[in-house]
Amino acid sequence: MRLSNGKRVSRYLAAGVAAMLAATAAAAEFPFERELLLDAKPLPGSKRVPMLEITRDGRAVIDLWCRSGEGRVKLEDDMIEFTLGPMREEGCTPERTQRDEGMVEALAKVANWRLEDDVLVLIGPTELRYTLSSH
* 22-52 per-position pLDDT tens digit: 444 444 599 999 999 999 999 888 899 999 9
For residue 87, give the amino acid letter. M
Q: Are residues 60 and 113 in the same domain?
A: yes
Does the predicted model carry a pTM greater than 0.85?
no
Residues 95 and 58 in one domain: yes
Residue-range definition of the domain harbouring residue 17: 1-30
Q: Residue 60's CB: how many other CB atoms inside 10 A? A: 19
Alpha carbon 89 to its chain centroid, in Å, reads: 22
Q: Quick one: pLDDT at residue 95?
A: 92
**Residues 23 and 84 both lie in one domain:** no
**Whether residue 119 sits in one domain with residue 67:** yes
The span from the CA of 16 to the CA of 103, in Å, is 36
The answer on 54 and 8 residing in a single domain is no
Pairing of strands 35-38, 128-132: antiparallel
Considering its fold, how many domains does the chain have in total? 2
Shared domain check, 112 and 64: yes
Q: What is the CATH number of the domain that holds 115?
A: 2.40.128.270
